[in-house]
């Protein structure tokens, strides 16, 4: 049976906590980064790469703030955790991969590596969600991470930002390109493979 409260207009939005709105800000910034890279691919103006990288950094700020606000207001919830993971997939998984693609990593092997990176990020978040309670050891805060957190992909975005500043995009990408069986690999994309592998590793990192 549905309750009268559940039938009210925008009842789901009414249930959002303050931290959830910051989480949505994270997702919106991630989408802004994707739109910026689409515009770069259309127009070729490097300022759109700068904007895309800046939006990922803004997403990181929202990601940090939503956790702090949730703990400050003591309003953590399963819904908030799921929202956070979905936003992180966009901002720190898909957006960095699309930035890399737009910057020139467009060969077949590049695409496979970038898809692997996103898949690792999604897997990392899923594992965190099902193990967060155990990792917190009965407390309200997780003591450590297993595998690097997906927001560490901002380091890859920073790398692409520097490449854009130096004009090392597309055919001028650092380390050039390699041909295997008629398909292209840009060696720079291997940093995404490393990042993804670290995300799904069992290495423990203390949570600060």
> What is the average per-residue pLDDT within 44-57?
97
The pLDDT, as a whole number, for residue 4 is 47
Give the start-end residues of each E strand in the chain.
144-146, 178-180, 183-185, 204-206
Backbone angles phi, psi at 79, to 5 degrees: -65, -40
70: which residues sit within 8 A by CB, 6+ positions away? 17, 19, 76, 80
Q: Which of 68-72, 80-84, 177-181, 200-204 has the highest mean pLDDT?
A: 177-181
> What is the average per-residue pLDDT within 53-61?
97
- The β-bridge relationship of strands 144-146 and 204-206 is antiparallel
Backbone angles phi, psi at 20, to 5 degrees: -65, -35
> What is the average per-residue pLDDT within 182-200?
96
> What is the average per-residue pLDDT within 93-104?
97
Structural tokens at position 33: 């980064």
* 208 against 119, higher pLDDT: 119
Q: Which of 5-14, 60-69, 154-163 has the highest mean pLDDT?
A: 154-163
Contact 56, 92 (CB under 8 A): yes
Q: What number of residues does the chain have?
A: 208
The pLDDT, as a whole number, for residue 142 is 63
> What is the average per-residue pLDDT within 71-97?
82
Q: What is the overall mean pLDDT for the chain? A: 86
Closest CA to 100 of 144, 156, 51, 146: 156
SS3 label, residue 29: helix
pLDDT greater than 70 at residue 10: no
pLDDT greater than 70 at residue 43: yes
């Amino acid at each position: 049976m549905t309750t009268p409260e559940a039938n009210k207009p925008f009842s789901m939005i009414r249930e959002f906590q303050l931290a959830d709105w910051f989480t949505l800000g994270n997702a919106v910034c991630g989408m802004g980064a994707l739109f910026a890279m689409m515009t770069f691919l259309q127009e070729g103006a490097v300022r759109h790469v700068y904007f895309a990288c800046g939006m990922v950094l803004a997403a990181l700020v929202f990601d940090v703030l939503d956790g702090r606000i949730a703990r400050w207001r003591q309003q953590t919830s399963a819904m908030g955790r799921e929202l956070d993971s979905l936003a992180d997939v966009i901002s720190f998984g898909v957006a960095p991969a699309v930035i890399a693609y737009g910057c020139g990593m467009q060969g077949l092997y590049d695409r496979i590596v970038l898809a692997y990176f996103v898949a690792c990020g999604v897997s990392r978040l899923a594992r965190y969600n099902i193990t967060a309670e155990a990792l917190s050891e009965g407390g309200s805060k997780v003591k450590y991470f297993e595998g690097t957190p997906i927001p560490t992909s901002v380091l890859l975005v920073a790398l692409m930002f520097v490449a854009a500043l130096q004009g090392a995009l597309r055919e001028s990408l650092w380390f050039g390109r390699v041909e295997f069986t008629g398909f292209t690999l840009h060696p720079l994309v291997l940093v995404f493979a490393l990042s993804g592998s670290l995300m799904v590793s069992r290495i423990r990192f203390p949570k600060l």
